[in-house]
Amino acid sequence: MDSIHNYTDIDFHAEGAFSTIYRCRPVPTSPFSSSYSEVVLKVSNPTSQRAPHSPIRESELLQNLRHKHVIPLLSAFYDDSDLVLVMPYVPLHFTGDVVIDSATRATVVRDITSAIAFLHSQRLIHRDIKPQNILLASKSGPAYLSDFGTAWVPTTTKLLLKHLQTDVEPVNAKVTDVGTGPYRAPELLFGYPEYSESIDLWSWGCVIAELWHGRPVFDDDSSESSEISLVNAIFRKLGTPDVQTWPEAEAFPGFVHIHFVRYPPQPFEQLLPDAPPEAIEVIAGLLRYESGQRTAAEKLLHMKYFSFAGNNIE
């Protein structure tokens, strides 16, 4: 049985809304000491969580998910009332301050796309894809998708999740207050509870675009981060849609009764002038209003951009 006594040199590393991350070393008698010189402890109290945050669900998911680009769970245990998840220490995030060459960039995008494709094949929705949740072991990779604390799991899942029956969001009544700021899909911003895994595809498109944009592509240049300001930031870049160009929006609460400023769409080549055409093709396939038209992750893997992984294309 694992316990906090199996770890030493425990130092604060990061803090989230409902958890605290500590960086530490396994003691020599730990089963992980021969494989990992450093690990992280993600500590949270299950009783103080706000739905859909669930460390118990995250623990059970990671115990059942096996993919080379999903962060592995090494152990999970309780320390008094806190649930502690033990994962490898991965030093870098896929953010703009990490300079990587174009070949590695394509490889990392391919790695995370494959992880997303795997999740979606299990009908799971990550719901918080952003640069901070994409980890790099080094500037040359490999890359890992992390933080499954708000992931949505269907009741029909074949994964062995003991606590699912007490923590269910119906497929047509999911929580819409998920995701992070400029990476949230537009259907979430309009409070549409019947969204699909396509919200992950939108978020992933935002992350990829940011590699060439240098900052969130839908940054509204203000201190305000309300849904309406984010909607406006999207419309100013991609153009203002209506129910003809975005049919599913007719089902969104209040959409047809709101009069939006009419913005023309900006070509992606103009928004991201430094991005190669192959990357533009990927991004344009993901950042589509109609969720059913976003390119599925499995299909993305066959696009030309990924053939450049391992080669310099800039």
**Preceding amide of 186 cis, omega within 30:** no
140-174 confidence digits (pLDDT tens): 889 999 999 999 988 767 665 665 555 578 889 99
Hey, which bits of the chain come out as E strands? Answer: 7-15, 20-26, 39-44, 75-79, 82-88, 92-93, 134-136, 143-145
Omega within 30 of 0 (cis) for the link into 28: no
Kindly provide the b/e burial profile for residues 161-187, where b requires at least 16 CB atoms within 10 angstroms of the residue's own CB. Answer: beebeeeebeeeebebebbbebbbbbb
**What pLDDT tens digit does each residue of the chain (314 aa) get?**
899 999 999 999 998 888 999 999 999 988 888 889 999 999 999 887 778 888 998 999 999 999 999 999 999 999 999 999 999 999 998 876 677 888 889 999 999 999 999 999 999 999 999 999 999 999 888 999 999 999 998 876 766 566 555 557 888 999 999 999 999 999 999 999 999 999 999 999 999 999 999 999 998 665 556 888 999 999 999 999 999 999 999 999 889 888 999 999 999 999 999 999 999 999 999 999 999 999 999 999 999 999 877 644 44
For the question of whether the overall pTM of this predicted structure is more than 0.95, the answer is no
**What number of residues does the chain have?**
314
Residue type at position 143: A
Q: How far is CA 212 from the centre of its chain?
A: 18
Give the CA angle between residues 249, 254, 257 to the nearest 5°: 95
The helix (H) or strand (E) run that includes residue 176 is: none
pLDDT on residue 163: 57
Yes or no: say if 102 and 133 are a contact pair by the CB < 8 Å rule.
no
Instruction: Please answer whether residues 161 and 121 qualify as being in contact, where contact means their C-beta atoms are separated by less than 8 angstroms.
Output: no
Structure-block tokens of residue 257: 């009764």
Contact 148, 61 (CB under 8 A): yes
CA distances from 300 to 6, 196, 222, 305 (A): 42, 17, 33, 9
Domain annotation for the chain: domains and CATH numbers: 4-88 (3.30.200.20), 92-308 (1.10.510.10)
- Annotated active-site residue 111? The verdict is no
Task: Transcribe 98-131 into DSSP letters.
Answer: S---HHHHHHHHHHHHHHHHHHHHTT-B-----G
Exposed, middle or buried by CB within 10 Å (0-12, 13-18, 19+), for 273? Answer: exposed
Active-site residue identified among 2, 82, 111, 128: 128
